[in-house]
């Protein structure tokens, strides 16, 4: 049987149990292979089917419908992120929005079709509100071939002219059958009708990223819609907190800002929201993320083969897309949680052509502080808020313009003694131009600013004020070409001008005797050009190759120290001071990034992928606390601090299981970071006048394996993952004193080898659903004291090896119940209540341990943050009918 597989180029699919007793005899007469097998197997009660891909399916019960098999294994002409617009050819445009098409859809005309035998049909698969249906399939029943909607819902195929039956399928939409008469090249957009509410399950993911078929690996995608069931801490739906339930993404601890992706420090992630980089992603020092989930449509993150159009970060790119306003009707929605209230308004500017979206969120919880009978709390103020705006204009069929703005602020005042103002601002505009259906460019101008200001009046004579501002100005241009359906080329470049005002350390208040210290400014220019090609020589095999050249310059005006080589960089090893004029090149670094990836389908439901990446990073966070602190500031690579270089090799196996209801993946990776920025023992980064005196550069090595099983649809859905990983840092430079941990390797602060996440949703009734999370991980490493001693009668402890011990393992279980308002049509408002309990078991998960020598012995102390179950209620409403 396997011989025929090779000889006839067919593939068999069968259950070994089914055919274990089957004996095939030699064939003596010519007959079709399929007929032969069928004849032989029918007596065993087995059924046979063959599809157009020469795949032969052997089953015991029902013969497989090979049309559906194609559905499982769609011929995705182009699964790359295509940026095509809905170009509507008026003559050929047919709206199928109203009803099933009983009549024949005629595309093109005979005259145009005269010259060629084949004709191409392209268009979009869309929801009724015009949102693209990624992964929706369009099949030609007669030929058993078809295509699938890409990110823009775009599909395309080229077949012989003729009459066909089209089958349209999407998991949350009604299947449609349409009769097609294809006369010449043409386009058509299809609008699918959503399945009725009664049938809808709780959808965890949009399923738009096809884990098996897509060549992208180490890629995760979550939509806001999909996380609405997941239990909330303090009632805040937070799409980035949900990200920590995905494999390879961890946070240092509860309430800690930042993520550690595949063992990298938090500053190796880049967060883009509609092209705007966000340098601080936390409200309230990490308890909430700065993104109002209502205003986010989805995010995707790459942690393996980061596309060549992105540069500048080694661990991951989070690409967050803000919601596009509805261009048909006005909508208003909002929500109230114990901490915040939010509102979102969207609607058309000019119907069908342009839309806006405005969202705002703010705390209203100062009243809680006022309730507490404590003068310190009464005098305190905790405010955070954010606003987001997005405008979309479809100028014409070939030009599309988008404008986006973002603002977030934290304003925190503790009893008049310490104040914080942390601000993100960002804006971007982009112009997307379509040369034709296949080729386009996208030009974006981006501005982002991160400003931090602290005032401290704790000690009147040392009261100080400190500020720090980072500004990011970027222009980027991306071209997408699709010379044939097998090739997809993106190329382009970007350039970023960074200006960091390192700020002043200045006296605050009349009594302060602090001497003003100006830390100065710095400027850097990061530019990159890239080209990347996705080539699919066959439907089974896809190759991605990319090259990106980065050029980074640290610019004047600046004065820099030169140190005696072979000596630790300190004040005493300075041998010269160099002065540079404005925009003079202080130091330049150039580097070539590589992106290589492949995907190969072993069978329709199984694929293997591999990738290799090399990247450079030119900025880092001045942070030596275990969790990111609110005062951490960004710093550019400079004359003395070299850029970090990262490399990653990953391999993975991907599969559909149980009739495509489950997705399984396993990825293993090995990653290194050179010139990792670490800090000298006891470095105090609050005022870091000469950064290189505190910085030591070393190596990070991470390896790991991630298993993920996911069920995306149905009443019961969710995912489960297990990760094993190991992140080790080595700082062992030749200069005396330039080591950490005596030059021995040590586990990274966020190294948590075992990690298990389980997310489950169950929709019991139309209006009632339950969700639960289970989170387990190894405790993070910690440095224990090894010696106690006396000094002047005071008991002290001595620490030796860094991160040799671990805090207790982390375990948490959360549950939530969601109750929808009534589902009557034509109502004024629809409401949703979410009741959730975070840390149901009330386990005292340890956040940190510290030690004190007391009465003759060293005592340890465990600090827990959320040591009790936390109950919260939130209410979300929307004017109009239920639709989400």
Partner 1 sequence: MQIRYFQSAITLNLEIMITRFSVILIVLVSLISCVEEFQPQLNESDELLVVDGKITNLEGPYTIKLSRSSGLDIHAIEPVAGASVVIIEENGPAVSLTEIEPGTYQTKVDGLQGKVGKSYKLALNIEGIQYETDYELLKKPTEINSVDARFEYQASFNSPEDVPGIQFYVNTDNSTFEEDYFLWTLEGTYKYNASLMIYYVYDGSLREFDNHDTLNTCYISYDIGGIYTARTANLSVPQVLDKPLYFLPATDIRLSVRYSLFTTQYSISEEAYQFWRQVELQSGGGESLYTSQPYQIRGNVKNISDPDEAILGYFTVAGVSQNRIFMDQPAEVNIVLEDCVPDPMALIEIFDSKPEDWPIYLPGGEGVSLGLVNPDCVDCQKSGGTIEKPSFWVD
856 binding partner 1? (CB under 8 A): yes
Using CA atoms, how far residue 812 sits from 231, 257, 774, in Å, is 12, 19, 6
**Which CB sits closer to partner 1, 688 or 876?**
688
Using CA atoms, how far residue 326 sits from 85, 101, 346, in Å, is 17, 26, 6
Residue 220 has which token pair? 């995760």
List 65, 160, 329, 376, residue binding partner 1 (CB under 8 A): 376
Cβ atoms of 187 and 87 within 8 Å: the answer is yes
Smallest separation (angstroms) from partner 1 to the CB of 504: 13
Which one of 412-420, 582-590, 709-717, 767-775 is the stretch in contact with partner 1 (CB under 8 A)? 412-420
Tell me which residues in 626-645 interact with partner 1 (CB under 8 A): 626-627, 629-631
Tell me which residues in 440-469 interact with partner 1 (CB under 8 A): 456, 458-462, 464
What is the DSSP pairing of strand 118-127 with strand 186-192?
parallel
User: Torsion-angle region of residue 403: left (phi > 0), alpha (psi -120 to 50) or beta?
Assistant: beta
Q: How many Å apart are CA 739 and CA 881, to the nearest integer? A: 63
**Which CB sits closer to partner 1, 414 or 447?**
414
370 binding partner 1? (CB under 8 A): no
List 369, 403, 720, 815, residue binding partner 1 (CB under 8 A): 369
Smallest separation (angstroms) from partner 1 to the CB of 838: 10
Element (H, E) at 113: helix 110-113
Tell me which residues in 678-707 interact with partner 1 (CB under 8 A): 681-682, 684-690, 693
Q: Which residues contact 134 (CB under 8 A, 6 or more apart)?
A: 149, 150, 151, 153, 206, 208, 209
Could you say which DSSP state residue 86 is in? -
368 binding partner 1? (CB under 8 A): yes
Cβ atoms of 385 and 403 within 8 Å: the answer is no
**Which CB sits closer to partner 1, 415 or 774?**
415
Which one of 127-135, 408-416, 435-443, 638-646 is the stretch in contact with partner 1 (CB under 8 A)? 408-416
Binding-residue pattern over the window 644 to 683 for partner 1, x denoting contact by CB under 8 A? -------------------------------------xx-
834 binding partner 1? (CB under 8 A): no
**Which CB sits closer to partner 1, 403 or 796?**
796
365 binding partner 1? (CB under 8 A): yes
User: Torsion-angle region of residue 800: left (phi > 0), alpha (psi -120 to 50) or beta?
Assistant: alpha
850 binding partner 1? (CB under 8 A): yes
Tell me which residues in 215-254 interact with partner 1 (CB under 8 A): 234, 253
Smallest separation (angstroms) from partner 1 to the CB of 342: 18
412 binding partner 1? (CB under 8 A): yes
**Cβ of 575: how many Cβ atoms within 10 Å?**
10
Q: Which residues contact 3 (CB under 8 A, 6 or more apart)?
A: none
**What are the strands, taking DSSP E only, across 45-136?**
47-50, 55-59, 104-107, 118-127
Assign 328 to helix, strand or coil: coil
414 binding partner 1? (CB under 8 A): yes
Residue 842 has which token pair? 């009330």
List 8, 670, 789, 884, residue binding partner 1 (CB under 8 A): 789
Cβ atoms of 53 and 70 within 8 Å: the answer is yes
**Which CB sits closer to partner 1, 537 or 737?**
737
**Which CB sits closer to partner 1, 670 or 861?**
861
Q: Which residues contact 219 (CB under 8 A, 6 or more apart)?
A: 209, 300, 301, 302, 303, 304
Smallest separation (angstroms) from partner 1 to the CB of 263: 17
Q: How many Å apart are CA 720 and CA 572, to the nearest integer? A: 55
List 36, 377, 639, 811, residue binding partner 1 (CB under 8 A): 377
Q: How many Å apart are CA 294 and CA 718, to the nearest integer? A: 21
Residue 369 has which token pair? 């502080």
**Which CB sits closer to partner 1, 285 or 554?**
285
Which one of 183-191, 706-714, 769-777, 790-798 is the stretch in contact with partner 1 (CB under 8 A)? 790-798
List 318, 618, 847, 882, residue binding partner 1 (CB under 8 A): 847
Q: How many Å apart are CA 242 and CA 251, to the nearest integer? A: 11
List 228, 472, 710, 802, residue binding partner 1 (CB under 8 A): 802
List 625, 672, 733, 881, residue binding partner 1 (CB under 8 A): 625
Tell me which residues in 255-274 interact with partner 1 (CB under 8 A): 255-256
**What are the strands, taking DSSP E only, across 731-869?**
746-747, 754-765, 768-777, 781-782, 785-791, 794-799, 805-806, 810-820, 829-838, 846-854, 857-864
**Which CB sits closer to partner 1, 418 or 564?**
418
Tell me which residues in 747-776 interact with partner 1 (CB under 8 A): 749
Residues in the chain: 884
421 binding partner 1? (CB under 8 A): no
Element (H, E) at 265: none
List 435, 579, 799, 884, residue binding partner 1 (CB under 8 A): 799
Q: Point out which residues pair with 669 in neighbouring strands.
A: 650, 704
**Which CB sits closer to partner 1, 252 or 525?**
252
Element (H, E) at 40: helix 33-42
Smallest separation (angstroms) from partner 1 to the CB of 407: 23
Q: How many Å apart are CA 708 and CA 599, to the nearest integer? A: 18
**Which CB sits closer to partner 1, 377 or 875?**
377
415 binding partner 1? (CB under 8 A): yes
Smallest separation (angstroms) from partner 1 to the CB of 580: 21
Tell me which residues in 537-576 interact with partner 1 (CB under 8 A): 571
577 binding partner 1? (CB under 8 A): no
Binding-residue pattern over the window 336 to 355 for partner 1, x denoting contact by CB under 8 A? --xx----------------
List 863, 873, 883, 884, residue binding partner 1 (CB under 8 A): 863
């Amino acid at each position: 049987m396997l011989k025929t597989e090779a000889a006839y180029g067919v593939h068999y699919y069968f259950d070994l149990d089914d055919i274990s007793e089957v004996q095939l005899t030699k064939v003596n007469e010519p007959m079709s292979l399929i007929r032969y097998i069928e004849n032989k197997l029918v007596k065993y009660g087995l059924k046979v089917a063959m599809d157009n891909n020469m795949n032969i399916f052997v089953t015991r019960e029902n013969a497989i419908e090979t049309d559906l098999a194609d559905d499982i294994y769609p011929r995705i002409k182009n699964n790359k992120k295509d940026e095509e617009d809905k170009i509507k050819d008026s003559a050929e445009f047919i709206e199928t929005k109203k009803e099933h098409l009983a009549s024949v859809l005629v595309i093109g005309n005979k005259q145009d079709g005269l010259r060629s035998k084949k004709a191409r049909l392209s268009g979009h698969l869309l929801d009724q509100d015009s949102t693209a249906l990624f992964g929706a399939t369009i099949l030609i029943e007669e030929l058993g071939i078809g295509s699938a909607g890409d990110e823009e819902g775009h599909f395309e195929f080229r077949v012989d002219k003729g009459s066909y039956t089209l089958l349209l399928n999407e998991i949350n939409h009604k299947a449609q059958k349409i009769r097609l008469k294809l006369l010449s090249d043409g386009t058509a957009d299809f609008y699918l009708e959503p399945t009725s509410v009664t049938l809808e399950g709780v959808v965890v993911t949009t399923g738009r990223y096809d884990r098996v078929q897509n060549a992208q690996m180490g890629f995760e995608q979550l939509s806001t819609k999909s996380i609405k069931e997941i239990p909330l801490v303090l009632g805040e739906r937070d799409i980035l907190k949900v990200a920590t339930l995905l494999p390879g993404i961890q946070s240092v601890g509860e309430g800690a800002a930042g993520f550690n992706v595949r063992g990298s420090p938090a500053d190796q992630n880049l967060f883009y929201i509609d092209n705007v980089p966000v340098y601080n992603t936390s409200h309230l020092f990490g308890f909430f993320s700065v993104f109002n989930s209502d205003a986010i449509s989805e995010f995707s993150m790459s942690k393996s083969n980061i596309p060549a159009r992105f540069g500048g970060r080694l661990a991951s790119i989070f690409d967050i897309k803000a919601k596009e306003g509805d261009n048909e009707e006005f909508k208003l929605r909002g929500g109230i949680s114990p901490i915040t209230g939010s509102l979102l308004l969207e609607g058309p500017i000019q119907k069908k052509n342009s839309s806006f979206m405005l969202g705002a969120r703010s705390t209203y919880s100062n009243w809680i502080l006022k309730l507490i009978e404590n003068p310190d709390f009464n005098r305190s103020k905790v405010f955070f808020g954010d606003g987001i705006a997005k405008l979309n204009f479809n100028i014409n069929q070939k030009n599309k313009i988008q404008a986006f703005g973002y603002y977030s602020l934290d304003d925190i005042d503790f009893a008049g003694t310490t104040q914080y103002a942390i601000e993100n601002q960002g804006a971007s505009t982009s112009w997307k131009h379509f040369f034709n259906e296949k080729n386009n460019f996208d030009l974006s101008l981006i501005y982002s600013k991160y400003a931090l200001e602290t005032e401290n009046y704790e000690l009147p004579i040392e009261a100080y004020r400190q500020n720090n501002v980072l500004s990011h100005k970027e222009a980027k241009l991306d071209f997408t070409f699709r010379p044939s359906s097998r090739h997809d080329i993106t190329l382009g470049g970007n350039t970023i001008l960074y200006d960091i005002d390192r700020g002043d350390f200045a006296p605050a208040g009349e009594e302060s005797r602090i001497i003003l210290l100006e830390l100065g400014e710095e400027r850097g220019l990061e530019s990159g050009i890239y080209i990347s090609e996705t080539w699919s020589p066959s439907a089974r095999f896809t190759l991605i190759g990319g090259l990106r050249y980065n050029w980074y310059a640290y610019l004047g005006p600046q004065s820099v120290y030169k140190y005696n080589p072979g000596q630790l960089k300190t004040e005493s090893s300075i041998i010269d001071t160099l002065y540079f004029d404005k925009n003079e090149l202080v130091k330049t670094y150039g580097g070539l990034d590589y992106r290589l990836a492949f995907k190969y389908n072993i069978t329709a439901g199984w694929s293997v992928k591999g990738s290799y990446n090399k990247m450079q990073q030119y900025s880092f966070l001045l942070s030596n606390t275990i969790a990111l602190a609110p005062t951490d500031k960004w710093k550019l690579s400079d004359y003395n601090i070299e850029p970090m270089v990262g490399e990653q090799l990953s391999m993975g196996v991907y599969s559909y299981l149980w009739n495509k209801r489950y997705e399984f993946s396993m990825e293993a990776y090995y990653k290194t970071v050179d010139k990792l920025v670490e800090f000298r023992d006891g470095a105090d980064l609050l005022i870091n006048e000469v950064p290189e005196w505190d910085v030591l550069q070393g190596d990070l090595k991470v390896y790991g394996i991630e298993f993920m099983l996911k069920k995306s649809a149905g009443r019961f859905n969710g995912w489960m993952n297990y990760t094993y990983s190991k992140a080790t840092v080595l700082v062992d430079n030749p200069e005396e004193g330039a080591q950490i941990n005596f030059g021995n390797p040590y586990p990274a602060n966020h190294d948590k080898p075992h990690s298990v996440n389980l997310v489950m949703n169950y929709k019991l009734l139309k209006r009632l659903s339950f969700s639960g999370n289970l989170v387990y991980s190894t405790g993070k490493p910690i440095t224990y004291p090894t010696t106690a001693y006396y000094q002047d009668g005071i008991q002290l402890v001595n620490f030796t090896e860094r991160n040799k011990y671990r805090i207790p393992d982390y375990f948490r279980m959360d549950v939530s119940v969601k109750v929808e308002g009534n589902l009557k049509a034509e109502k004024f408002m629809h409401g949703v209540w979410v009741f959730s309990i975070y840390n149901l078991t009330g386990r005292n998960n340890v956040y940190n341990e510290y030690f004190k020598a007391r009465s003759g012995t060293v005592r340890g102390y465990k600090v827990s943050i959320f040591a009790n179950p936390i109950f919260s209620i939130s209410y979300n409403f929307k004017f109009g009918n239920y639709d989400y």
